[in-house]
Amino acid sequence: MSGLLTLRGASRAELEELLDFAQSFVGGSVIHRGGAGGTVTTVFFEPSTRTRLSFEKAAHHLGAHVMSFDAPKSSTAKDESFRDTILTLTAMGTDVFVIRHWLADAAELTAAWSGRPVVNAGVGKREHPTQTLTDALTLRQRFGHLDGLRVAIVGDVGNSRVARGHLAALPTLGVELTLVGPTPFFPAVDPWGVRKSTDLDSELGDMDVIYLLRIQKERGSSAGIPSERGYARRYGMNEERLSMLKPTSVIMHPGPINRGLEIDGVVAEGERSLILEQVANGVPVRMAVLSLALGERR
Amino acid sequence: MIVIRNARVLRSDRIEQSTVVIEGDTIQTVGEEPAVNGARVIDADGAWLGPGLVDLHVHFRDPGQTWKEDIETGSRAAAAGGYTAVVAMPNTQPPIDDGERARAVMERATAIGTLDLRAAGCLTRDRAGTEMADFDSMYSAGVRIFSDDGDAVPDAGLLRRIMMYLGDLPGAVVADHAEDRSLAGNGHLHDGVTAARHGIEGLPAVAEDVIVARDLELANATGSRIHVQHVSTANVVGLIRQARERGVKVTAEVTPHHLALEESALESLDPNLKMYPPLRDAEDREALAEALASGLIDAVATDHAPHATAEKDVPFEEAPRGVIGLETSAAVVSSALGRDQALFFDRMSVAPARIAGLDRQGIAVEPGSPANLVLFAPERRWTPGAFASKSQNSPFRGLELTGKVMTTIYEGRISHEDGSG
C-alpha cells in the first residue's frame, strides 16, 4: 500500500488483514524494527495530542527517526506555505509523511507534491482512518468480532471526520451503524444509506456500542443546536442512560471529551467506557500503518 | 468576397445544402453559383452554417484582472468558439456601473474588431448592493442587460425599485445572480452526495431557488423584464414555468457545463470543476436539458470565467469559483441537443441576440442578412488542449468532444479559422 490516504473502497479482507497486522503489535510482544533508518515526518496543521503522540511513539518503536512540523498557530496559513512546507520537508529527507490538515484533499495533495507515502492523520471533515482502525481493533478485542455489531454514532456527524471515516469502512467490516442526533447534525443528503435517529433514548436498548462524538465548537457544532445544555439533555451520555443499555454494551469516544456535554465524567471513567483502550490501541495501529508505509521507502 | 460551398445552411424557413456568397458585411446570395474570380472559397464539407453565436454571459476581467483574461484574448477565445457577439459582465475592477466605463469597454472591443461586445452594467452603484447604479448614462451608452453578477441584490426593496425604474427603459433587462449568501455560506460544491462524503461544506440548491422565487415575484409585481442567469436546479426550472404561465416577462439561460456534467464528477475534487452555481445532480441536469430543448430555458450562456492556472492549481477549498467555456460550448451544446441544427442556432444565437437586443445578430442566412456567421462541423471529434483564452480552467480539457467550429465570420471578415486541418 502507498501510505494510507483513505479506507474508502478497501475490501473487507484488506481491512481485516490490516487489523490482524495491528493486533500483532499489541503489548509489544513482537519486536519490529521495520522502520530502522527511515524518517517519518509529522505535519500537523491543526492541533492534536493523542494522534500526533501516538504516531511519533509508533515511529520510535519501529526504529524510525521522527521530524515534526508544527504549522503556525493561525489556521489562516495559505496553501502556498502548505505546498512549500511539503516540498521543503521532502527535500530534507522524509520517507513517510503523516499529515493532519483542515483541507479535505490535503493527504492526496501531499502525496502528489512529495511523491512519498502519506498517512492521513485526519483531513478536513472527511476522514481519520487510523482512528477508524483503532476503534475497529478495540471493538474486535472486546467483542471478538465486528460482524453484526450495532453501533450508534451520536453527535455532529456532519462536522466529524471521525464519523465519516467510520462510515467509509465500518459497514464493510459488517458493523451496523446508526447515526443519532438532531437533524441539523446530519449532512443534507446521505451517501451512505445508513439508519438515522433523532431519539437516543429509543436506541439505547438495541445498541452494542454508543459511540459519542465530541461537540466541536471550533467546527461550528453549536450552529446546529440552540444550546449545549439542551443537547446534553437530549443526547448527553449520563448514568441514567447508561442504565438503559444492554449489560454487554460499551461506550466509546475519540477524545478529547467535553465532560458534562456529550458525556458525563462518571460515564467516561466507568467500567463500560473503552476510551482508554481506544487511546492505547492507537499506537499498535499506527505502528502497523507506518511499518507498511516505511516498507516502501526509496 | 467570401464563398462558402457545400454548407448545410440555416435559412429562415428551412435547412438546405447550399452555397453562400458574402460581399462586404452582407450576405449577397444564397444558392447561386458566383463567378469566383479573386474570391476566398471555403468548402464546408457539409458543416452547419448559421448566424454567429451570441453569449449573454462572459467575464473578460478587463479592467482590473487582466492576468486572467483581457478584452483581446477574450475576443479571440470567443471567435475561436464561433461567437460574433458577447455580453461582458460588469464585475470587473472597477465595476462597470456608469456609462463612461461601459463605453470604454465597448470601444476597446470595437477597435479590436472581431466581435460585437456589449457591456452589461451593474444593478447597484459599485456593485455594493445598497443604491441604484447610474442607469441613465449606461442606457445611453447602449447597455441593456443589468446585473451585479457574482452577487444577488440582497435588498429586495432596492431590487423592486430597480425593476420599476428599468421597466421604463425599453429593452432593459434585470439579470440577477441567484445566490442567497446566508444559505450559500462557505460552500464549495453542490450540497449533495459528493459534498457529504468529502465533508466539504455544500452550496444547497435552495440558495438559488429562494432568490429566483423572490425575483420572479418582484418581476411579476413590477411588470419588469427579468433574465434568470445560469439556472442550475430543477426547482428553478419549475419556478420559471409557473412564472411564464402567469405572464411574467422572464427569460433564462443555462451553461454548457450544467448541461453536460453532474456533481459526481467532483469526486476527484478537481478545482477546474468548481464554479457557481455548482454542478448539481442528475435530476437537475436532466431537467435543464429538457427545459432548453423545450424553450422554457431560452438560451445557452457560457459564464466564461477565466482564472489563471496558478490560482486554480491549489487545494479545492481554496480555489476560486469559475470555469472557461467559450471554446467548448458549441460542441457541448450541439451534443446535448442531439445535433439538431435549428434548435442549436436558436438557443446559441437567435434567442440570446433577441434577449440582448442585438439587431445584427441571430439572423437566418438570407440575402441581405448581416455577415455574422459560424461554420460548425457537428461530427468532427477533437480534444481540447490549449485554449486561446489567457486561462485554461476548462472542465472539458483533455476530454474528447464532438463538433468543432471551423470558421467564424464577423461583419464579413474571418475572425477565426480552424488550423487543425
Domain boundaries, chain A: 3-127+279-296, 129-274
Domains identified in chain B, total number: 1
| Domain CATH code at residue B90 | 3.20.20.140
* B199 closest CB neighbour out of A79, A124, A190: A124
User: What is the spatial distance between Cα B72 and Cα B270, in angstroms, rounded to a whole number?
Assistant: 28
* B 342-401: CB under 8 A from A: none
Kindly state the cell numbers that stand for B61.
Answer: 476581467
Contact: A189, B191; criterion CB under 8 Å = yes
B182 touches A: beta carbon within 8 Å:
no
Rounded distance, CA B155 to CA B181, Å? 12
Chain A residue with the nearest C-alpha to that of B267: A105
**Is B232 part of a structural domain of the chain?**
yes
What pLDDT score was predicted for residue A1?
46
- pLDDT tens per residue, range B241-295: 999 999 999 999 999 999 999 999 999 999 999 999 999 999 999 999 999 999 9
Measured between CB atoms, which of B193, B269, B317 is closest to A189? Answer: B193
The strand pairing partners of B54, in sequence order, are: B85
Chain B nearest CA to A133, separation (Å): 18
In a domain, B192, yes or no: yes
Q: Which CATH architecture has domain A3-127+279-296?
A: 3-Layer(aba) Sandwich (3.40)
Q: Do B200 and A82 touch (CB under 8 A)?
A: no
Predicted local distance difference test score (pLDDT) of residue A78: 53
Cα–Cα distance for residue pair A139/A47, rounded to 1 Å: 27
* Burial track A175-186 (b if 16+ CB lie within 10 A, e otherwise): bbbbbbbbeebb
* pLDDT (0 to 100) of residue A80: 56
**Which of B196, B199, B317 is closest, CB to CB, to A189?**
B196
Contact B194 A191 (CB under 8 A): yes
- The count of CB pairs under 8 A between chains A and B is 57
Q: Which residues of chain A have pLDDT under 50?
A: 1, 74-76, 298
What's the 3-state SS for chain A?
Answer: CCCECCCCCCCHHHHHHHHHHHHCCHHHCCCCCCCCCCEEEEEECCCCCHHHHHHHHHHHHCCCEEEEEECCCCCCCCHHHHHHHHHHHHHCCCCEEEEEECCCCHHHHHHHHHCCCEEEEEECCCECHHHHHHHHHHHHHHHCCCCCCEEEEECCHHHCHHHHHHHHHCHHHCCEEEEECCHHHCCCCCCCCCEEECCHHHHHCCCCEEEECCCCHHHCHHHHCCCHHHHHHHHCECHHHHCCCCCCCEEECCCCCCECCCECHHHHCCCCECHHHHHHHHHHHHHHHHHHHHCCCC
What is the number of alpha carbons within 13 Å of residue B120 lying toward its C-beta? 35
Q: Which residues contact B44 (CB under 8 A, 6 or more apart)?
A: B4, B5, B6, B7, B8, B375, B406
Q: Which residues in chain B are contacts of A108 at CB distance < 8 A?
A: 269
The yes-or-no answer on residue B298 being catalytic is no
The domain covering A129-274 belongs, at the CATH homologous superfamily level, to Aspartate/ornithine carbamoyltransferase (3.40.50.1370)
**Does residue B189 lie within any of the structural domains?**
yes
Q: Is residue B350 part of a domain?
A: yes
- In the stretch 188-207 of chain B, residues with CB closer than 8 A to chain A read 191-200, 202, 204
pLDDT at site B216: 98
Return mean pLDDT, chain A. Answer: 92
CA gap A194, A142 in Å, rounded: 24
Residue B132 near residue B165, CB atoms below 8 Å: yes
Instruction: Please check whether the two domains, A3-127+279-296 and A129-274, share a CATH topology.
Output: yes
User: Domain span at residue B312?
Assistant: 52-364
Among the listed residues A17, A273, A261, the one whose alpha carbon sits nearest the alpha carbon of residue A133: A17
> Looking at residue A141, what is its pLDDT?
98
pLDDT at A263: 97
Chain A residues in contact with B204 (beta carbon < 8 A) = 188
Which of B193, B200, B202 is nearest residue A104 as measured by Cβ atoms? B200
Grouped pLDDT means (10 residues each) for chain B, 421 residues: 97 97 97 85 97 98 97 98 98 97 98 97 97 98 97 97 97 96 96 96 97 98 97 98 98 98 96 97 98 98 97 94 98 97 98 98 98 98 96 97 98 93 53
CA distance A21 to chain B (A): 28
Residues of A in contact with B316 (CB under 8 A): 103-105
pLDDT at A47: 86
**Chain B residues near residue A190 by CB distance under 8 angstroms:** 196
Percent over 90 (pLDDT), chain A = 83
